[in-house]
Structure formats: structure tokens, C-alpha cells
Structure 1
């Protein structure tokens, strides 16, 4: 186990006669990648959250419930399924769009539902079938999660790029070390034995 002394904060920025130019470059790379990563993460995260929440708010405002009737009996029998299963099947329904046209589509209903049974469907402003819109609490949760995911993804790009630059600097330092060691090793070989 290697001995490590006390952690020195901002050691890359302190004056030191042994600090190489590559150490200075690495210090700037670390600072730049973290600064850009944090700023990009915040900006993208907030923008994504706001966009998702606005979209879900618009859906809640524009999507409306409509009364529809099953055009045929739903497949299966109602007594075949256990009460707690919550299993539903697809069945065709018909409804009237806001422009007065008759529309048909498929929705999920309980097995064995009879033809002509009224069900509630959700439609957009053009009368097309859509899913039930999320409520305000669900919209906040979804937008928050989308913002966090977008922010972390955006922050990862400069951090990974900074790490790649630092790895290349380390490889360069090791190559220089090998070069210098090859030059001076023959001179020391006779003095260390």
C-alpha cells in the first residue's frame, strides 16, 4: 500500500518548482471540464424539465374524454379471469369526433364486455385516440426525472472528454519518462551497483 500524505486542496494551482507544463495544462483541463459539465448539466436539465412539463400541461389542456361504444363484444369471458389480475383485452370502439365525424379505434377493456357498452376514451383536438393525460403531480415527477436524466447526460460529455484529455497527457508524460530513463540509465548503471 502506497503512503499518501494529507490531502492538499488545489494542489494543481500551487507554486512548485517540480510542477511541469503538463501539470498546468491538466489543471486547466480539470477546471474547464468540470465548469462546462456543471453549467451544461444545469442548463440542459432545466430546459428539458421545463419542456417536458410544458408538453404535459398542453396535453392536459387539449385532450378531452369522449363517450364511445363497443362495436362488438370483447374477446374472452368475464368469469375466466381472476378478480385481482387487472388483465384487459383490445376491443373496437366508435365515437364522434369534435367535427361530427364518426371514428373507430381500439381500446383496452375487460374481457367479455358486451357490444354497445359505453366506455370513456381520450381524444385530442382532432378527435384521434390518445392515452389518458397525466395529472399535475405525475407531470412534475416525469419532468423532474427527464430533467435529471438530460442534465446528467449533458454533464457527462465534457467530463468524459476532460478525462480523455487527461489520460492522453498521462500517456505523454509516461512516454517522456521512458525516453529520459533510456537516456540516463546507462550513466547510472555503473554507480548504483
Structure 2
């Protein structure tokens, strides 16, 4: 509202400089972009991202299945992991234990491989369920629809905020350029007036 009043105030003001009106219109355009354009861009971005993630979530739920698995034995630790046990203890970030397990793939074939343990400590004969693709290969959990909506919302907010920051940055750069131009015009006017400018009786 203040920006709109500023544009109106500079319409017929006798003290108005061309840069004053231009600055007011730049501020008015920035307000419109921040209040109207940025939310619209964020909303459109969120819808697009949500549609893409929801399609990916549906495809993953169709392609991935939970299958029962049985722990056969603990997997041997690689040398690199054994050497880094002290560093891991310092970081206090527990790592998932690897086990050798067997499972039946969705196509009915029997599979065996090294997978993360479902429980700690793992014991031979423990049963658990894990996600596999149609070929029986170990995959991650399918994307949850609510998680997809959350990520889409965050993407929309980030797009709106990024556009608002960009608009404000451009406005500040334009205002700074206008200020430099005003100072340059003032310096030229002072130089043209001469050293006696402002003195009583100057020029008489």
C-alpha cells in the first residue's frame, strides 16, 4: 500500500525527478511479484513436483514387494571396516550389521545374499521381511505418498522464497544504480554552478 501511494504521490509532484517515478514503479512491481507472482510460482512448482513424486511412488509400489527372508549367518566384516572400528566408536554412529540371508523372489526363485540385519544382534534362523523388485533384487522402501507431498510442499516454498529473494535483490540493485545516477547529476550541477553557488549576492 505504501508503495502504491508512493507511485501516486510522484505522478504530478513538481519536485519529482524521472528517477523518483522510476524507483516508485520498480518498488510497486517488486511488491506485486512478491505478493502475487512468487506464491503462484511456488504453487505451480509444488503441484508439478507432487505429481512427479506421486507417479514415482505409485510405480515403486507396483514394482516392489515385501518378501519373507531368513537369516543364515552373520556376514564377514571387510578389512576396511575392522580398521575403522575405533573411528566409528569415536563418532558414535552405529552401523547396521550385515547378514547372509535367503529369500524367495516374487517370481518364485530362491535367492541368497548379504543384506542389512533387521534386528540387533542377528541370530541364524531369524525371520524378517524386506523389499525386493520383481527380479528378487534388494531395493529400498517405496516412497510414501505423504512423504512425497511433504517434499513437494518444501519445493514449492523454496521456489516462492527464491523468487522473492531474487526480486528484492534486483530491486536493491536498481535503487543503488539510481542513487549513483542522482549523485552524479548533483555533482555535475554543482560543478556547473561554480564556486560561488549558494553565497549571498553571488552573480550580482
TM, length-normalised to structure 1: 0.68
Residue of 42, 46, 64 corresponding to 2:43: 46
User: In 2, are the aligned partners of 1:70 and 1:91 still within 8 Å (CA)?
Assistant: no
Once superposed, what is the RMSD of the aligned Cα atoms? Answer: 3.6
CA distance in 2, matches of 1:41, 1:125: 43
Q: Which portions of structure 1, spanning 4 or more consecutive aligned residues, are displaced by more than 6 angstroms? A: none
Match of 1:11 in 2: 6
Which 5+ residue runs of structure 2 have no aligned equivalent?
A: 78-93
- CA offset at residue 12 of structure 1? 2.7
User: In 1, are the aligned partners of 2:38 and 2:161 still within 8 Å (CA)?
Assistant: yes
CA distance in 2, matches of 1:178, 1:20: 16
User: In 2, are the aligned partners of 1:26 and 1:166 still within 8 Å (CA)?
Assistant: yes
- CA offset at residue 97 of structure 1? 4.3
User: In 1, are the aligned partners of 2:39 and 2:160 still within 8 Å (CA)?
Assistant: yes
- Find out whether 1:112 has 2:121 as its counterpart: yes
* Count of aligned residue pairs for this structure pair: 178
Residue of 57, 60, 71 corresponding to 1:59: 57
TM, length-normalised to structure 2: 0.65
Q: Is 181-190 or 20-29 further displaced after alignment?
A: 181-190
Which 5+ residue runs of structure 1 have no aligned equivalent?
A: 1-6, 77-86
Match of 1:184 in 2: 193
Matches for 1:145-160 after TM superposition, within 5 Å: 145-160=154-169
CA distance in 1, matches of 2:171, 2:57: 40
CA distance in 1, matches of 2:163, 2:4: 27
Match of 2:197, SS? helix
Matches for 1:68-79 after TM superposition, within 5 Å: 68-73=69-74
Match of 2:152 in 1: 143
